[in-house]
Structure 1
């Protein structure tokens, strides 16, 4: 199980990225909302969507939960 955090500062597209505790791109803890411990990122994203409707998995650490956009 990994710990998952949601970035409280949205990206330029408005997404709040979901990161696991080992991600190099995880925000500093004061800018992160702890989502919980989950066995996979898809389950973590389901919980994150309860906090922000525009939550999205980080393409680096949560690729299975990342929604790809044309502009990426």
Structure 2
């Protein structure tokens, strides 16, 4: 189980990034929200999108191999 945070400040392409707690790009304590413990980054992203629809995974700490499919 890993612990994830969501940046409250958007990045250069106006997206909020999901980071794990060991990420070197993890924002400071006042610039992030705690998402909680999750089995993987995809689960954390699902919660982040509820809070900020323009969320994405951090390229440094979150894997890019898997694809997320959201069905409405």
TM-score (norm 1): 0.85
- Residue 11 of structure 1 aligns to a residue whose secondary structure is coil
Counterpart Cα distance in 2 of 1:39 and 1:5: 14
Which residue matches 1:6? 6
Counterpart Cα distance in 2 of 1:65 and 1:7: 22
Counterpart Cα distance in 2 of 1:66 and 1:24: 22
Counterpart Cα distance in 2 of 1:16 and 1:29: 15
Counterpart Cα distance in 2 of 1:3 and 1:32: 13
Q: Which one has the bigger helix percentage?
A: 1
**Structure 1: gaps of 5 or more residues:** 68-72
**Structure 2: gaps of 5 or more residues:** 68-72
- Residue 49 of structure 1 aligns to a residue whose secondary structure is helix
| Offset of residue 62 of structure 1 | 1.0
TM-score (norm 2): 0.85
Number of residue-to-residue matches in the alignment: 67
Which residue matches 2:24? 24
Counterpart Cα distance in 2 of 1:36 and 1:45: 11
Task: Note the aligned Cα RMSD (angstroms).
Answer: 1.9
